[in-house]
Amino acid sequence: MCGILGFVGSGQYKTALSRMLSIQAHRGPDFTGTYFDEGFAAMGHNRLSIIDLSSSANQPFQDHSGRYIMVFNGEIYNYLELKNTLKQQYNFITSSDTEVLLAAFCIYGKGCLDMVNGMFAFAIWDKKDKTLFAARDRFGIKPFYYFKNAESFIFSSEIKTIHETGVCKAPNEVVWGHYFLNGSYGQPHETFWEGIQQLPAGHYLEFSEGKLHVESWYDFVYRVKNKPQITDYQEAQAVYENLLIDSITLRCRADVPIGFNISGGLDSSALLAMANISQHDISNIEAFTFYTGDENYDELPWVNQMIERYKNPLQKVCLTSNEVPSLAKKISHFQDEPYGGLPTLAYSKVFHSASKKGVKVLLDGQGMDEQLAGYDYYQKNSYSTIQGVHKSPFKRHLFNTKWAENFSKVIYPKPFESSLENLQYRDLFYTKIPRALRFNDRISMAFSTELRVPFLDYRLVELGVSLPKAFKIKNHQGKQILRDIVANSVGNNVSYAPKRPLQTPQREWLGRELNGFVEYELEKIKSTHYSTWFNMKAIDLEWQNYLAGDNQSSFHIWQLVNFALLMA
97 is in an annotated binding site: yes
Catalytic hit among 2, 106, 112, 252: 2
Question: Strand 131-136 and strand 153-156: pairing?
Answer: unpaired
Neighbours of 83 (CB within 10 A): 19
Report helix, strand or coil for 230.
coil
| Pairwise CA distance, residues 269 & 313, whole Å | 15
2 is catalytic: yes
In sign, the C-alpha dihedral spanning 459, 27, 346, 254 is positive
| Pairwise CA distance, residues 158 & 163, whole Å | 9
Helix H or strand E encompassing 435:
helix 432-446
> C-alpha distances in angstroms, 460 versus 203, 250, 336?
20, 13, 31
* Cα Rg of the chain, angstroms: 23
**β-strand partners of 450:** 361
H helical segments located in 121-232: 159-163, 173-182, 220-225
- DSSP labels for 78-106? THHHHHHHHTTT----S--HHHHHHHHHH
Nearest to 332 by CA among 239, 422, 443: 443
| Pairwise CA distance, residues 79 & 350, whole Å | 28
Half-sphere CA count of 216, side-chain side, radius 13 A = 11
Nearest to 354 by CA among 462, 451, 472, 279: 451
Nearest to 432 by CA among 367, 350, 501: 367
| Pairwise CA distance, residues 186 & 172, whole Å | 10
| Pairwise CA distance, residues 257 & 391, whole Å | 45
Rounded to 10°, the helix 324-335/432-446 angle is 110
**β-strand partners of 51:** none
| Pairwise CA distance, residues 35 & 522, whole Å | 45
Maximal CA-CA distance, the chain? 71
| Pairwise CA distance, residues 543 & 546, whole Å | 5
| Pairwise CA distance, residues 47 & 425, whole Å | 33
Q: Which residues are catalytic?
A: 2
Detail the residues annotated as belonging to a binding site: 97
Residue positions in the annotated binding site for L-glutamine?
A: 97
